[in-house]
Amino acid sequence: MSQSVQIKNALISVYYKDNLEPIIHELSRLGVKIYSTGGTETFIRSLGAEVIAVEDLTSYPSILGGRVKTLHPKVFGGILARRNFESDEQQLDQYDIPEIDLVIVDLYPFEETVRSGAAQDDVIEKIDIGGISLIRAAAKNYKDVVIVASKDDYIGLGEILKEQNGETTIDQRRSFAQKAFNITSHYDTAIFTYFNQDEQLPVFKQSILKSETLRYGENPHQQGIFYGNLEAMFTKLHGKELSYNNLVDVDAAVALIDEFTEPTIAILKHTNACGIASRSFIKEAWIDALACDPVSAFGGVIIANDEIDAETATEISKIFFEVLIAPAYTDEAVQVLKGKKNRIILIRQPVELPVKQFKTLLNGVIEQDKDLVIEGPDQMRPVTDKQPTEHELRDLFFANKVVKHTKSNTIVFAKNNQLMASGVGQTSRVDSLKQAIIKAASFGFDLNGAVMASDAFFPFSDCVELAAEAGITAVLQPGGSIKDQDSVNMANEKGISMVMTGVRHFKH
């Protein structure tokens, strides 16, 4: 096995030519013989560098509209030949095949073509055949060949060529091969995903090239990595880097706020809303969201769906928070919010979010559709003698949005588009109810005239009885219990209204 390899021959055929010019000049300086095809060959000639057409090497033209250019033994033999294998060397000499020590090849922009909405025929033509074969061949033979499969590595390659006079080490070649196989596997996953849009093949494949190492995971002794492009979704105006726990809360915050169209602010702790309100003006929304539970709001994640102005920023700055997210800020608001160095201030950008969720579980992975449905007044079926008022229906709609995004078992109290209290993550629904009643009282909320939403059905009538006695006048639940009628009867007995939606919103 060779440890250090001097580059004598190079094959270059790329779609993206950014930052390629310095490499061409350096290869020319080193006396490296360059083979190329098509547009890359033309580009190299335009730089005044010598280049040999692959067609001259293979004595075979590019055919089938360019579909077949480099798929030839004289190309792949030169890449795959094992140096210091006598039989391989003899065959190279026998068939006059040059050893190719450097391959610079990228892939057709398949994913970009799919995202552009192009027709199927155009998408299919962007499935690379020759390029991906060249990359795999060169990466397989990394002991003797350098493979550069991305324009992101051009600068690094250029530095190696210059500093090491055209020689590469085994560690460098293996590193390039590792990156190359990452690119080819991602490319194949993207193609499969395109062909499996109807999910006829129930297999799990995910590939994300971009990643960000976090300070740690959920706890300091756990490693954490985010896979994805945070910069596409958020513009950071101020503060430290997002932590693992920040990201989990931010994800929950984004999902919750997207349920609302009117000016709304939500405060979340451990993925649950401890305050949320919708108002005509964003400052009012903040004041009423904070009033729900100012104790839990400490150190929380705050999200708004409207621009943050200076007055609102001044009010928000009165408490300690970890993250603030909004679609926009006034310049004055930004200056106010930058008063504390560690606050994370983010502008949310419009990005299409996944419609699937998955996580590791046991010795595998589970996947599901995201819960993207929400039941409004039109889907609320009255089941009691008393009908909910229009005002109660609006509050029930608000409460249903919140309960959908709260850990089960959960009960939510709301009034006038404001969260009054919630019982979160309890092992019994009645405990969640009792927790919500205690919290509402502790912050001075009057539950008379408030509404209640439950993420799942009531197995017994006790929740309805306790809620009515606390002042609740309207109840929303999905229904589905064999004892639904017991809860309906209790609501009738207490003189309150109840609606059923037929849709459960468990969240674990």
Catalytic annotation, residues: 140, 270
CA dihedral in degrees (427, 429, 435, 438; nearest 10)?
-160
Measure Cα distances from 167 to 26, 159, 162, 164, 190 in Å: 12, 11, 9, 5, 34
Count the neighbouring beta carbons within 10 Å of the beta carbon of residue 111: 17
Q: E-assigned strands of 49-173?
A: 52-53, 102-105, 146-148, 167-169
SS3 track for 470-503: HCCCEEEECCCCCCHHHHHHHHHHHCCEEEECCC
Instruction: Give me the residues paired with residue 169 across strands.
Output: 4
Measure Cα distances from 193 to 108, 151, 239, 437 in Å: 16, 24, 37, 48
In whole angstroms, what is the distance from residue 402 CA to residue 412 CA? 7
For residue 68, the 8-state DSSP code is B
In whole angstroms, what is the distance from residue 33 CA to residue 56 CA? 13
For the stretch 339-368, what's the b/e string if a residue is b when 16 or more beta carbons lie within 10 angstroms of its beta carbon? Answer: eeeebbbbbbeeeeeeeeeeeeeeeeeeee
Q: Where do we find the tokens 């990228």?
A: 106
- The number of angstroms, rounded, from the C-alpha of 32 to the middle of its chain's C-alpha atoms is 43
- CA terminus-to-terminus distance, the chain: 53
